Chains A and B, each alone.
Chain A
Amino acid sequence: MKKIIAPLLLGAALSSAFAADDSLKQEVEALKAQMAELKSAQAKLNVDALRAQVSEIKAHDAGDNVKFNVDFRTAYDAVSYKLNNAPDQDNGIWTNKLILGMAAQPADNLVFQGKLGVYKTFGQNNMDQTSMFQAFDWYGTNKPGDDSIKLREAYFIYSDDMGDVHYAVSFGRRPSLDGFMTDLRADNDAPASPVGHNISMEFDGASFKFDFDKVTGISGLYFKICLGRGYSNTTGSYSMNSSGGFSPAYVEDSANPNMDLAGLLVQLYDNGQYKVMANYFKAWNMMDINAMTSNFSTGQIFFGDVGDMTGGSLSVQVNGIGDGLSDFLDDSIFFLSYAFNKTDPKGTHFIPDGMGGGAMGTEMLGSSSKETGSSVYTGLQLPGIAKGQRLGLEYNHGSKYWRSYTYGEDTLAGSKLATRGDAYEIYYKLPIVGKNLTAQLSYVYMNYDYTGSNTFFGWTGTPMDPSTVPGAVKSASDIRASLRYKY
């Protein structure tokens, strides 16, 4: 029996093995055919074209939206003041500062840039009750207040070429805070538009920029005409008149002047290492509190036109001292700047005598003559102890009649660049998580030779020896420790 079964089993096994072999062969053939088809299809694909197509889609999508960025800082400021014949004053203030940036470029030659800002003290505050000028939009997003969102920047830039001259036209609320040189202490990647030495405040206007580097062969040469309005003389809608009725909306309000500025900003040279900038401006209808029409007890303040002012600056920044002398010097920045201002008093207006009386007269910064003020500003920014850390040292000195437009400077104890006297600053900044989270410690000290450094342009700006004025600030300081998130 076993003899019969064994050959049968062997036969069955062999026949099934042959059948499996045939099926395997067929499958292999089918696979071969499929691979050939795939190879043929792949050969027809143009990978470069596909890659180009993907890049095009990515570039389009990246440009087809508004790009947002966040700049958020939490800080503690210790401000202190030494007063003449009065006790010293000091305070510690915690603040949160949020700047929400946005930008879009729908076409190669059209750009929109915007920034909204909230800069608030911790918790509720009583500033509205203590300051009549807290709501000024010269520094709406650069001085702490409440939690309302304010417009910091909103402008478009249209650019094109006229032969070898590239030009750009821009209208809107200007990028006019933390400009050239002052961007270093502000730890910004790039300076805003004006020279920070004499202009750092928020305003609305326009600019017209013309690049002449190709025409002249002078690296970085450009001219920029800047126009701005710092105060609008108009009533609001549904404003009441003296007889209790409604006034027409947005008509001229005789109580306040329009305050305008026109300036020329020139970048004389910029080769990436040496940068020379100059500006010259004229401002019309500078204002001061009109003591005749204002009601101090109710906080209702009106202004009066006290005159015009011209000014200018010349500044040099060296980005990398020497060339290859050492890594330390290559990574060091030095700047030096000179600025001036000249008053042109006009019009007759009431000038209080500080003792409850006063007289009609014509004056600016407390003088009926045309007065000239000046300021020097210098600084160094050096590499810190560890990689990425930076140490900054700055000094500025202002003369008796020095008046800058630096109301928007982010120093809580008053603008250091407006100081009529000597101001010193030392700061140290360090990265915590790359450039996205940084810390900064700074100390600003201002020693005043004259009063009126941070006021308006008429009688409130009168320079006086602080040691002769009871309660005048003789010196001020601001120590700040901050953490900043940027992305």
Chain B
Amino acid sequence: MKKVIGLLVSAFLVVGLMSTSAFADAAKGQKYYLKYMKDGSGMNGAKFATQHTQAEWKALFDGKAEKFVAEYSKKYPGLDAFLKGDKFEKFMPDIRDFCIEFASDSGNVPSC
């Protein structure tokens, strides 16, 4: 059994070296939404994400999400400071993935 464990641990380390870097995370995006955007928008994340289709969110978040920032700063003035701040730039890929994950045409069902 010790040999098997040793082999598996070695394989795990090798896999760790080979693994691809992680990309944006919709679950993290949901948490960032709750922390930084829920109060400003006045709605929960599931409702927020269904405002657009996946293609529309992709277009809004294209580049550095300039279109999203412009539209949503105007639509929800409470989000203005966050959307134009440093934190948004940092968390944007995760928030983008969250919006796409639960877009109106995603077919994903909120678990409530």
Contacts and interface: CB of A to CB of B under 8 A. Distances in A.
B108 A272 contact: no
A320 B18 CA distance: 28
A393 interface: no
B23 A434 contact: yes
Interface string A418-435: 000000000010111111
B104 A434 contact: no
Contact of A434 (B20, B36, B106): B20
Interface string B60-77: 000000000000000000
A350 B85 CA distance: 69
Nearest to B3: A92
B89 interface: no
B22 A388 contact: yes
B25 interface: yes
A481 B22 contact: no
Contacts of B106: 62
A168 B111 CA distance: 11
B1 A432 contact: no
Interface string A96-115: 00000001110000011100
Given A271-B34, A386-B16, A439-B12, A76 B4 contact: yes
Interface in B25-48: 25-27, 31-36, 38-39
A428 B8 CA distance: 13
Contact of B112 (A76, A168, A273): A168
A329 B68 CA distance: 28
Contact of A78 (B4, B12, B104): B4
Contacts of B21: 386-388, 431
Interface residues of A, number: 52
Query: Which range holds the interface residue count of chain B?
Result: 35 or more
A105 B21 CA distance: 34
Contacts of B105: 55, 58-59, 61-62
A435 B25 contact: yes
Contact of A55 (B20, B23, B104, B107): B104
A430 B35 contact: no
Given A78-B5, A479-B5, A431 B27 contact: no
Contacts of B12: 428, 439, 441, 481
Nearest to A331: B28
B1 A91 contact: yes
A428 B15 CA distance: 12
Contact of B1 (A90, A430, A481): A90
Contacts of B39: 219
Contact of A439 (B16, B34, B36, B55): B16
Contact of A272 (B15, B36, B104): B36
Interface in B77-112: 87, 104-112
A190 B4 contact: no
Contacts of B20: 431-434
A272 B38 contact: yes
Nearest to A111: B109
Nearest to B22: A388
Nearest to B32: A272
Nearest to B2: A78
B20 to A, nearest CB: 6
A6 B56 CA distance: 70
Interface in A176-193: 189-190
A62 B1 contact: no
Contact of B107 (A67, A90, A157, A209): A67
B112 to A, nearest CB: 5
Nearest to A52: B53
A219 B4 CA distance: 49
A9 B30 CA distance: 83
A63 B105 CA distance: 7
B36 A441 contact: no
Interface of B: 1, 4-5, 8-9, 11-12, 15-16, 18-23, 25-27, 31-36, 38-39, 53, 55-56, 87, 104-112
The 4 closest A-B pairs by CB, nearest first: A388-B22, A272-B35, A272-B34, A62-B107
Given A92-B1, A385-B16, A389-B19, 10 more contacts: A58-B105, A113-B109, A175-B111, A272-B33, A389-B16, A431-B19, A431-B22, A432-B19, A435-B22, A439-B16
24 contacts: A58-B53, A59-B53, A59-B104, A62-B105, A62-B106, A65-B107, A78-B1, A90-B1, A103-B108, A105-B109, A111-B109, A159-B112, A175-B111, A189-B27, A219-B38, A270-B34, A271-B35, A272-B38, A387-B22, A388-B22, A432-B20, A434-B22, A435-B22, A441-B12
